[in-house]
Structure 1
Amino acid sequence: MRVMPTRSLTARGKVLGGERPLVCVPLVGRTPEGVLEEARTVAAAAPDLLEVRADAWECAERTGEAMALLARLRESVEHLPLLFTCRSAAEGGFRPVGEDARTRLFHAAVEERLVDFVDLELSCGRERLAALKRRAAERGIFLVVSFHDFEGTPSREALLATVAAQVEAGADVAKVAVMPQRPEDVLTLLAATLEARRLFPETPLVTVSMGELGAASRVMGWLCGSDLTFAVGTAASAPGQIPLAALRGVNDVLLSPKDSA
């Protein structure tokens, strides 16, 4: 039995924080045609959510064009929840997007109710997070507050402090993604996940140890309290992502009822 939060979030029929963890597939196309074709291909494999990586878009700094693309995407995959982000270059963005442009994108996506979740980094600061939280909450959109470290894995205490700061900043979902340098780092991430679940029982969690070394966390994280992980659709958005079908198969084995020995 995996460890679940006491409060779940529902978007378009998908339950984040329920009995089964969700699998999200990123869309990393650069052009409108590429994004829409990728969405159609990925949607056919029936993921639980799609992550919209606007930081990959060539039109990311042209808000009108970006929102027109997002509206077309929303219409083409109406049945799937969309997790929208424009990742900063410092935390793994595909291309640099100015901070003013990023702010306009987030607020426009929320104002037009084109997405179900928005993901903004903890490093953006309390004021920007609070402003986005207010607008999102008014429109029934959930805020993911995220932290990414592509160089290493902070200590268990530091990871817990990060989750605490995310919750304090108003996160509906707290996300932590780190890079292991040794096997012990993967265990650190999993131990922090389990403790965070117990310390913050109402907040759904997304925790990932990246890279080949951390691939096991995309499975074991579910059992320790992580409520969502990322799988490969047509291309990965972070190191170590596992193909959707393979991840689903392992999940089914781990979470299906077993005969007693």
Structure 2
Amino acid sequence: MRRRTATVRGIELGRARPEIIVPLVGEDADALQAQAEAATATRARIVEWRLDRFRPDLEDAQEHREAVLDALPALRALLGPDRALLVTFRTTAEGGARPLADRDLGVLLESLITGRRAGTQSAVDMVDIETARTARVVERVIAAAHRHGTVVVGSFHDMEGTPSEQELVETLRAQRRLGADVPKIAVTPHGPRDVLTLLSASVAVAEDLSGPHIAISMGALGATSRVAAETFGSAATFASVGEGSAPGQLGAQDVAGMLELLRP
């Protein structure tokens, strides 16, 4: 039986070589545009806009949301038709840069998905939702995404350690049951066996043949998981252009070369 995939802008996640996702962490429109231009010079076909890193001077959720919607059309135009845009607001609970109430998180992501501003329709290709947030918010975001043809990354980040293999496998499967097209886990290793735990969980879920997922062991210790993703069943890896968004991210061009060298 062939493993299921998820397709966005002609990019088929879960088939052949893992995709490289480059995060954009610019704090204002100029920095965002500059980093996006650098990303388009790499082989990465998916770009992640880290909304929690954008406009840290705007503490009010509505003002921040308006600034995001204002910046979106120019970013989408710069990326062109062949690169997918993933939008992510990483909360402080999972290693993000700023807090946001679950309700406000839902409003922000639904606004981006549905294009509630002239010029933003169909600008967002993928959306990340932390599956540990309030169940109702997670359900609403996933439902809105599926109504508008947006691919859902359902994510969980453990910034303190690495749960057991059984827990990691169940987390990924539970995210799939919630409706995530691409379940994602990122964990923190404290030794080589933690990295092996993450990789073994990734293989176990890949053997379900239920669709693509992303599994990452963070930090320098977990770098192996970022470049050997294909061997262990992960559909994508995150790599940086300039400033990264998580511990242990490697340069996008370096990762592209290593993915080719390590193809099974």
TM-score, scaled to structure 2: 0.91
- Deviations along 1:143-181, one digit per CA (max 9) or x if unpaired, are 111000011000001111111211111111100000000
Does structure 1 retain, via aligned residues, the 8 Å contact 2:16–2:230?
no
1:188 aligns with 2:197: yes
Does structure 2 retain, via aligned residues, the 8 Å contact 1:27–1:38?
yes
Distance 1:187 1:5 in 2: 26
Does structure 1 retain, via aligned residues, the 8 Å contact 2:213–2:235?
yes
Q: Counterpart in 2 of 1:116?
A: 125
Which residue identity does 1:213 align to in structure 2?
L
1:168 pairs with 165, 177, 196, which one?
Answer: 177
1:131 aligns with 2:140: yes
Q: Counterpart in 1 of 2:261?
A: 253
Q: Counterpart in 2 of 1:87?
A: 90
Which residue identity does 1:55 align to in structure 2?
D
- Deviations along 1:15-71, one digit per CA (max 9) or x if unpaired, are 111111100000001111111111011111231200110000115832222111112
Q: Counterpart in 1 of 2:210?
A: 202
Task: Give the % identical residues.
Answer: 37
Q: Counterpart in 2 of 1:239?
A: 247
Worse overlay, 216-225 or 93-102: 93-102
Q: Counterpart in 2 of 1:97?
A: 100
Q: Counterpart in 1 of 2:119?
A: none
2:27 pairs with 14, 18, 30, which one?
Answer: 30
| Deviation, structure 1 residue 5 | 6.7
Does structure 2 retain, via aligned residues, the 8 Å contact 1:29–1:56?
yes
1:74 aligns with 2:76: yes
* 1:69 partner SS: helix
CA 1:68–1:238 in structure 2 vs 1: closer, same or farther (change >3 Å)? same
Worse overlay, 170-179 or 94-103: 94-103
CA 1:100–1:233 in structure 2 vs 1: closer, same or farther (change >3 Å)? same
CA 1:7–1:104 in structure 2 vs 1: closer, same or farther (change >3 Å)? same
Distance 1:155 1:5 in 2: 28
Distance 1:35 1:150 in 2: 26
Q: Count residues with an aligned counterpart.
A: 252
Report the aligned-residue RMSD. Answer: 1.6
Does structure 2 retain, via aligned residues, the 8 Å contact 1:32–1:69?
yes
Q: Counterpart in 1 of 2:54?
A: 57
Distance 1:5 1:242 in 2: 31
Does structure 2 retain, via aligned residues, the 8 Å contact 1:49–1:83?
yes
